[in-house]
Structure 1
Amino acid sequence: MADVVFREMQEEYLDAVRDIYLHYVFHTTATFHSRPLTREDMREIVFFENEKYKTFVIFREEELCGYVLLTQHKKREAYDTTAEVTVYLKPGCIGVGLGSLGLQHLEEYARKQGIHVLVATICGENEKSIRLVERNGYFRCAHYKEVGLKFGQYLDIVGYQKILA
């Protein structure tokens, strides 16, 4: 897809990114947030003090279609070469390859940052995200049962990882 561009997250994209995220908060179990997030809440999710971690917005033909995050896995030094990946796409932009392009972009950036392992934490019923990471070489390494409660149901999370060469 030659018409896809990744841009580093900027303040001017915050409302659009928040709108995408709020769709998942209110209508899906893709995130375990269940309340509306303020702009400040969203700012804390997508901006990082450590330059190693970044959020990138995805543009296709100048439309902001989603965003991807490379975030800290844990706040202990031994985890410094491990990071978490996250992908959120506008509902109308799913199923056209943007998720895979987003993961590939994060992997390239992660390698430049000295990251060795990428992890993804996904709600067990989120089949689209599970297929996305599996298609991109991630393998399941964990399954935690009934650890989240949203929409009156207990939810599992599954962990995936990819070791970068």
Structure 2
Amino acid sequence: MQALGEVGFEHYEISNWAKPSMRSKHNSSYWQGTPYWGIGPSAHSFNGTSRQWNIANNALYIQALRQMEVPFEQEILTPTQQLNEYIMTALRTMEGIQLQKIATWGTKALEMLTLSAKKPIYSDKLIVSSDAIQLTAAGKHFADGIAADLFFEDNNQLM
């Protein structure tokens, strides 16, 4: 990983490096929670509050379209699931979790997340500033576990 940085690549997401201004716009939209449409068999879509996916079987997908149906399943995300998903994806990025965005889930969510991130166990793994929570170089090795520790359990914690 150090070698990529030495030749001018930026580590903009846990598993992604790019030359400056050459980040993947496609993948970045997932980490930022941007809505997207999936078209075709097995394609996934996300609108910010729900996610849906088309059936995978090509023949059944085409047959349904011929009958003017769009064969999909859908999952409606609770506010807590939306928040946890943002924590999980944003923490993986160079920019980290934006506290202004966390505030959209309420003052209590912002306070609880900031307190959790300031626990001594994270002193060498997280940087907590006035506007973001970001992983340190050491923290990047524990990103998924840290994200899971920062997750909210239920909607009552947001109120």
- TM-score normalised according to structure 2 size: 0.31
Which structure shows the bigger proportion of residues in strand conformation?
1
Find the structure with the greater CA-based Rg: 2
- TM-score normalised according to structure 1 size: 0.30
